[in-house]
Chains A and B, each alone.
Chain A
Amino acid sequence: EAEVAQSPRYKITEKSQAVAFWCDPISGHATLYWYRQILGQGPELLVQFQDESVVDDSQLPKDRFSAERLKGVDSTLKIQPAELGDSAMYLCASSLDGTGVNEQYFGPGTRLTVT
């Protein structure tokens, strides 16, 4: 069964350092999402891509976060510099076509701890 791949699974970094997360969506899925989940909360959208274009990045803290999906396939989310409040689970999801009603399939996530 096709799955969304994410790496690394766990990351510990010191504040002010740079971190990067990688996501490979299910093959053929045009829409890719990055969510952040803080403990005790539900996932919240950071950025949504349709192919290589950003559809929604209104909740992305652009002073420190950046995301790209250059060839419309895999994607990278970067934080520079990391802050203590960035400690969370970062989830990548993909769906077949973001214009309709399609279930989103999530990867296993990257657990980030900022010390």
Chain B
Amino acid sequence: DQQVKQNSPSLSVQEGRISILNCDYTNSMFDYFLWYKKYPAEGPTFLISISSIKDKNEDGRFTVFLNKSAKHLSLHIVPSQPGDSAVYFCAASAAGQAGTALIFGKGTTLSVSS
């Protein structure tokens, strides 16, 4: 049973517009959430994170929103650029628990066209 779900395998956006990537989770013990970006033949690169005590975190063009009651988070990229084209993974961890491995979703492939 998947604890972290990214239900959209792909998303296509025009350059300059907003990209919204969504993620749902089922484990109420998760208290830390991260987004990673992955290019082909490379390892995932950390983008942005959010603790469960917050509902929003912003870093430049990237903003992550967390809705704990809905067990839902989203990543907004504004404005989108062609270099943002990659696979985006949502990940979660229960930082207060023993072992802090990340649980990943299956990823969403973002394509930004110029």
Q: Is the CB of A106 within 8 A of B43?
A: yes
Q: Does A44 belong to the interface (CB within 8 Å)?
A: yes
Min C-beta distance of B76 to chain A, whole Å:
20
CA distance A40 to B89 in the complex (A): 11
Q: Which of B13-21, B65-73, B77-85, B97-105 is near enough to bind chain A?
A: B97-105
A101-B95, A103-B49 as given contacts; A45 in contact with B42, CB under 8 Å = no
B51: CB under 8 A from chain A?
Answer: yes
- CA gap between A42 and B4 in the complex, in Å: 10
Interface residue count on the B side (C-beta < 8 Å): 24
Chain B neighbourhood of A44, CB < 8 A: 104
The tally of CB-CB contacts under 8 A between chains A and B is 62
Contact B100 A42 (CB under 8 A): no
Knowing A40-B106, A41-B106, A56-B101, say if A101 contacts B51 (CB, 8 Å). yes
Q: Which chain A residue has the least Cβ–Cβ distance from B6?
A: A42
Chain B residue at minimal CB-CB distance from A91 = B43
- On whether A111 and B41 interact (CB within 8 A), knowing A42-B105, A100-B95, A105-B46, the answer reads yes
In the bound complex, what is the Cα–Cα distance between A48 and B42 (angstroms)?
A: 21
Task: List A contacts of B46 (CB < 8 A).
Answer: 103-105
CA distance A100 to B51 in the complex (A): 12
Query: Is A25 an interface residue when CB atoms closer than 8 A count as contact?
Result: no
Chain A residues near B99 (CB-CB < 8 A): 48, 55-56, 98
In the complex, A72 has a CB within 8 A of chain B: no
Which 7 pairs between the two chains have the least Cβ-Cβ distance? Answer: A42-B104, A106-B43, A45-B101, A56-B99, A101-B95, A103-B46, A106-B44
15 extra interface residue pairs, beta carbon distance < 8 Å, beyond A42-B4, A45-B101, A105-B46: A42-B106, A45-B102, A48-B101, A55-B99, A91-B44, A93-B43, A98-B100, A101-B32, A101-B49, A101-B95, A103-B49, A104-B34, A104-B102, A109-B42, A109-B43
Listed by A's residue number, 30 A-B pairs whose Cβ atoms lie within 8 Å are A40-B106, A42-B89, A42-B91, A42-B106, A43-B102, A43-B104, A48-B100, A55-B98, A55-B99, A56-B98, A56-B99, A56-B101, A98-B99, A98-B100, A99-B100, A101-B32, A101-B49, A101-B51, A102-B100, A103-B34, A103-B49, A104-B34, A106-B36, A106-B45, A107-B43, A108-B41, A108-B43, A109-B42, A109-B43, A111-B41
